[in-house]
């Protein structure tokens, strides 16, 4: 069973639009961690955020914000006023006890000017 | 000074050959990993080592053999390369003391392997 689902394969927006990337996860553990990583066209993987299962506070970092909702097993990522430099593949990931990071299949975001 | 470095960055080889990818981290982390990213960008864990000991070994063909001479190095050797092995291989490290990722994974820049 897929543990991390990113239903949006590709999203295209125009600069300055807001965009939300969805992530739904599945786990039976009560303690787990959720992550978002960014992979720009250059190929490296860049850490964006980590959340543990006991901290449902939403987080904002500049134009980025994250909405963690245990009730719906979702950890969505919103980019406000998107820019061309935000174009990348974004991965949501889950960490459970005894496992390495399990990644979703990624969402490719294209921001055009 | 690169935190997690992999060599080579690009590798083109023929089917049937044996090749190695090296990885070194200077972060003092205890745990290192190999991930494979296929042509559809799917990232999948292959191996995880904690302090030179293998702790995660996903369903990977026996042709793939990781080797960790010390906790700062995790090399990946691949025997009898096949077309399907073409992918980008990422090395990573983390501070975690066990197999559970509670913290950030630091990734290398990836090694793109092309098998002809």
Average pLDDT over residues B27-37: 93
Which chain B residue shows the shortest CA-CA distance from A88?
B41
Contact A44 B43 (CB under 8 A): no
At A61 the three-state DSSP class reads strand
Q: Binning pLDDT at 50, 70 and 90, where does residue A2 land?
A: low
Q: Is B16 exposed, middle or buried (0-12, 13-18, 19+ CB in 10 A)?
A: exposed
Cα angle A42, A84, A25 (rounded to 5 degrees) comes to 70
Q: What is the mean pLDDT of chain A?
A: 93
* Residue B56 confidence class, pLDDT cut points 50, 70, 90: confident
Contact A98 B48 (CB under 8 A): no
Per-residue pLDDT, A97: 75
Which residues of chain B are at the A interface, by a Cβ-Cβ cutoff of 8 Å? 33, 40-45, 48, 56, 88, 90, 92, 99-107, 109-110
A46-66: average pLDDT: 91
Q: CB of B89 within 8 A of CB of B35?
A: yes
pLDDT reported for residue B1 = 66
State the pLDDT at residue B50: 85
Contact A83, A17 (CB under 8 A): no
- List the structure tokens of A7: 């239903």
- Average pLDDT over every residue of B75-94: 96
Of A69-73, B19-23, B69-73, B99-103, where does mean pLDDT reach its minimum? B99-103
The answer on pLDDT for B90 being more than 70 is yes
């Amino acid at each position: 069973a897929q543990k991390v689902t990113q239903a949006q394969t590709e999203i295209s927006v125009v600069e300055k639009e807001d965009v939300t990337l969805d992530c739904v996860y599945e786990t039976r553990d009560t303690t787990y961690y959720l992550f978002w990583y960014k992979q720009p066209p250059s190929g490296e993987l860049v850490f964006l955020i980590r959340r543990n299962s006991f901290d449902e506070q939403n987080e904002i970092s500049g134009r980025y914000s994250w909405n963690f909702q245990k009730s719906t097993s979702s950890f969505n990522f919103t980019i406000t006023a998107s820019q061309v430099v935000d174009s990348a593949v974004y991965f949501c990931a889950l960490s459970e006890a005894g496992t390495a990071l399990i990644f979703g299949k990624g969402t490719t975001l294209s921001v055009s000017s | 000074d690169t935190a997690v470095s992999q060599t080579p960055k690009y590798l083109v080889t023929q089917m049937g050959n044996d090749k190695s990818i090296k990885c070194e981290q200077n972060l003092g982390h205890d745990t290192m990993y190999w991930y494979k990213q296929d042509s559809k960008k799917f990232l999948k864990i292959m191996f995880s080592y904690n302090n030179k000991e293998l702790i995660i070994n996903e369903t990977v063909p026996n042709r793939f053999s990781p080797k960790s001479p010390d906790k700062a190095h995790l090399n990946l050797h691949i025997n009898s390369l096949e077309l399907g092995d073409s992918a980008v291989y990422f090395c990573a490290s983390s501070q975690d003391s066990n197999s559970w990722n509670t913290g950030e994974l630091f990734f290398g820049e990836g090694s793109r392997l092309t098998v002809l």
